[in-house]
Chains A and B, each alone.
Chain A
């Protein structure tokens, strides 16, 4: 068990927890979108910390591919959430 794995893995767990808390009690929609992104970043840190094998062995490429997919999906979900938020604001202004 490498020190880098410990540090980044546990930091990832904490960051995921912070993200989840703010998603549930965030005071505005934009804050909640930020919190979901932070939660995702924490989970990614966890995955890559598990895939890391030290400076001598090559890291596992499958978690890398999963996290790369996750980054792209996260940004597209953020874009959709922001468009929905904008539509909600417009809808509230009209009626």
Chain B
């Protein structure tokens, strides 16, 4: 076996990933562990790009490294920074170590069986043959939204369930401090750029790497950046419209599926001529739902606008059911919509 540059890079990446995973989990400083985990996620997205999975690379960088990291760091605000040293004896640790090795061994055996099995009918071949009648040109999008659409429907339902759980567990975390000049001017152009990129990723997912999940994660990143800059209103609507937005992903799937059943086709059996349009419709709703859920997850609970009934009138008038672009800056103020002394904002 000759050592090419690819092999060298693969070995380096695999060793780095192992080292980062071990380091993130064996340190007692929690913040350091989270930062190492973010680095792990970024290297993992490099591995996806290396293994010819560009959709996954985009999604891992945005969701796995970016949003997971933001969630964990935001959870560290309330948790203690260092954990107490546990007084665990060595016997349970040995047992668990053996169990982990056992799991690794079982997985390696399963992988070996999968690799060395005779070349059967490749799924990629089947997908490529049926790709034109799926309505999109990107095989991963075709599999996600057409050939295995049930999985995506259930995934959006899982997302909704997680959002309901988060909302029912308590109010949102306290917001961040008002931004100073550099951060305020950064978000003034970064957030519209993120929204534009999200729209582009949604559109281009039909024929190139991209799609609803990556677009939803980019939109969620816009909401997270707004939240970090101290905005209270981060594009999430209030009350019933928030619930409708979060349910829109699974809801649009069900609507399209049931409407297709009314026309005599099976549930989610798209007609090949309209498949592209229906997929785009479902992906748009899914993008909005994913973004709303992830931003809600970052805030940590039920938004304050739900609790304060007396400001409901003022907020209902100025919210929109979707991501709100940043207003153009008025002269001389970053907090142009929220007076810092005002509590009910």
Contacts and interface: CB of A to CB of B under 8 A. Distances in A.
Interface of A: 1, 3-5, 7-22, 24-28, 30-31, 33-35, 37-38, 41-46, 48-53, 55, 57-62, 64-69, 71-80, 82-87, 89-90
Contacts of B97: 21
Contacts of B300: 82-83, 86
25 contacts: A1-B115, A4-B50, A7-B10, A8-B47, A11-B14, A16-B104, A17-B104, A26-B25, A27-B85, A42-B21, A48-B53, A57-B124, A61-B123, A61-B142, A68-B144, A68-B213, A71-B56, A79-B294, A79-B297, A80-B165, A82-B72, A82-B300, A83-B301, A84-B169, A86-B78
Contact of A15 (B17, B99, B101): B17
A68 to B, nearest CB: 6
Given A51-B53, A79-B166, 16 more contacts: A10-B108, A11-B14, A12-B111, A20-B100, A21-B96, A34-B33, A38-B25, A52-B52, A64-B53, A64-B140, A72-B59, A76-B293, A76-B297, A79-B297, A84-B165, A90-B170
B331 interface: no
A75 B165 contact: no
Interface of B: 1, 6-7, 10-11, 14, 17-18, 21-22, 24-26, 28, 30, 33-34, 37, 40-41, 44, 47-48, 50-53, 55-56, 59-60, 63-64, 67-68, 71-72, 75-76, 78-79, 83-86, 88, 92-93, 96-97, 99-101, 103-105, 107-108, 111, 114-116, 122-124, 127-128, 139-140, 142-144, 148, 151-152, 155, 158-159, 162-163, 165-166, 169-170, 213, 290, 293-294, 297-298, 300-301
A50 B127 contact: no
Main SS of the interface on chain A?
A: helix
B115 A9 contact: yes
Nearest to B214: A68
B51 A30 contact: no
Contacts of B165: 80, 83-84
A17 B155 contact: no
A59 B124 contact: yes
A9 B109 CA distance: 11
A31 B83 contact: yes
B148 A71 contact: no
B100 A17 contact: yes
A73 B99 contact: no
Given A41-B40, A71-B64, A75-B68, A48 B14 contact: no
